[in-house]
Amino acid sequence: MHDLVVHNARVYPDFGSGNPAPVSSFAVTGGRVERLGVTADAPARRRLDACGGLVLPGFVDCHTHLCYAGNRMHEHASRLAGAGYAEIAAQGGGIRTTVAAVAAAGEDELVAQSLPRLLALAREGVTTVEIKSGYGLTPEHELKQLRAIRRLGEIGGIRVIPTFLALHALPAGTTPEHYVHQVITDTLPAVAAERLAAGVDVFCEHIAFSVKDMLAVFERARELGLACRAHTDQLRNLGGTRAAAVFGARSCDHLEYTAAADIEAMATAGTVAVLLPGAYYCLRETRAPPVTALRAAGIPMAIATDLNPGTSPVASPLAILHLASTLFGLHADEGLAGLTRHGAAALGRNDIGTLRPGAHADFTLWDVPGPEFFSYQLGGIQPSARYIEGVPHDI
Ligand code: DI6
Ligand code: FE
């Protein structure tokens, strides 16, 4: 007896696997997909008649900074008036504005302000979301932010994977040497001891931290059993992608300035490329990531919202799916793979983002004509049902 049988559906179990053909049914037992293609009358405790609708693996938004306080509406206005991202950061605005708001907010306040963003992602079909810290900068506030992220995961209805964004911005009045030392000796061990993060991330950029700083954090993270990822090549190429790939990082994210040698290193190491069209769009960048070369090298490409208050206030995975196609040229199947299987791969997971037997039964039901519709239409689409581990959750 199965726990659940989904039938009369067009189930796309595994985007990006080279086999996009839909099946009409599947069975769930113990919260996991047991079998694809069962007869409609297979014995089950519950049944879901999909009425011919599309069933997709739940979306995995593998790169967000959605846990924060306040907003940065004023920055948008400055950008319209001609200010650049680096310029705003150099003037003490940007990330530091959010750092001040997070420092002033208590843990409850952080949870309360972040929850609507989490629910917005869920309403568009996200079943797993990665959330980074990085707006605390001191051990006290980074831990507070990570505890708020943990509480967002405990609310239920969406699986939350926490990341300690160890190097994001340099606090005023300190040097990179001093700050990196503090992160390595104080914050990182405290995060690991409290099991507040599954991995670490570093913003490797000329306005942020160097390749050397990144590798110092990665070494310590590895000793503590934490996976590594990096923001690289968003504004310039510092060699961070190559270094992160050679180190064994799970993903490199942004990649607008990534070059051929970097792609080679990623292909050799099996690094996932996480593309973030929301930041590219909001910053009105003109240099797109080298999608053709990434594709040719067989590198798994994930896409994510990068939901953050500064460069990507985009609480919509469906908008990202559309932008990845119109701005970066991802095919429909690639975009959906980017939000499912490859997003999961960036998090080191092969048991989500797919409906292969054995995977968690996280899925969504859609009344749309076909998978290509998602990269074609912008707006007006939402799932009619969302299941996590075989259990329906309110949208
Ligand atoms: N990359 C980004 O896109 C964000 N952080 C990062 O490391 C920007 C975050 C912000 O401006 O608040
Ligand atoms: Fe980011």
> What are the tens digits of pLDDT across the range 264-308?
999 999 999 999 999 999 999 999 999 999 999 999 999 999 999
Ligand 1 pocket check for 231: Cβ under 6 Å: yes
Report the residue count for the chain: 395
CB of 85 shorter than 6 A to ligand 1: no
Q: Give the phi and the psi of residue 138 in degrees, each rounded to 5.
A: -100, 160
Tell me 209's DSSP state. B
Low-confidence ranges of the chain (pLDDT < 70): 19-20, 395
65 CA distance to ligand 2 middle (Å)? 6
pLDDT score at 89: 78
Q: What is the reported pLDDT for 395?
A: 64
> 227: which DSSP letter?
E
Give the closest residue to 3 by CA, choosing from 35, 34, 45, 43.
45
Residue 203 CA: nearest ligand 1 atom is 7
Nearest atom within ligand 1 for CA of residue 89: 11
Q: Quick check: CB of 205 below 6 Å from ligand 1? A: no
Beta bridge partners of 59: 126
Q: Is 133 in the pocket of ligand 1 (CB under 6 A)?
A: no
Residue 131 Cα to ligand 2 middle (Å): 10
CA atoms within 13 A on the CB side of 2: 25
Choosing from 311, 314, 320 the residue with most ligand 1 atoms within 8 A of its CB, the one to mutate for a pocket test is 311
Q: What ligand is nearest to the CA atom of residue 131?
A: 2
What separation in Å is there between the alpha carbon of 63 and the centre of ligand 2?
A: 6
Q: What is the pTM of this model?
A: 0.97
Q: Would the CB of 306 count as within 6 Å of ligand 1? A: yes
Q: Are 185 and 220 in contact (CB under 8 A)?
A: no
Strand ranges of the sheet holding 391-393, from the earlier edge strand across to the other edge: 10-11, 54-57, 363-366, 385-388, 391-393
Q: Is the CB–ligand 1 distance for residue 94 below 6 Å?
A: yes
Cα separation, 252 vs 202, whole angstroms: 10
DSSP readout, 316-377?
-HHHHHHHHHHTT---HHHHHHHTTHHHHHHTT-SSSS--STTSB--EEEE-SS-TTHHHH-
Pick from 234, 308, 314 the residue to mutate for probing ligand 1's pocket: most ligand atoms within 8 Å of its CB: 308
For the stretch 353-371, pLDDT in tens is: 999 999 999 999 999 999 9
Is 240 a pocket residue for ligand 1 (Cβ < 6 Å)? no
Q: What distances in angstroms separate CA 386 from CA 82, 163, 197, 351, 365, one per listed residue?
A: 42, 25, 26, 17, 7
Taking phi over 0 as left and psi of -120 to 50 as alpha, with beta for the rest, 34 belongs to alpha
Ligand 2 center–CA 256 separation, angstroms: 13
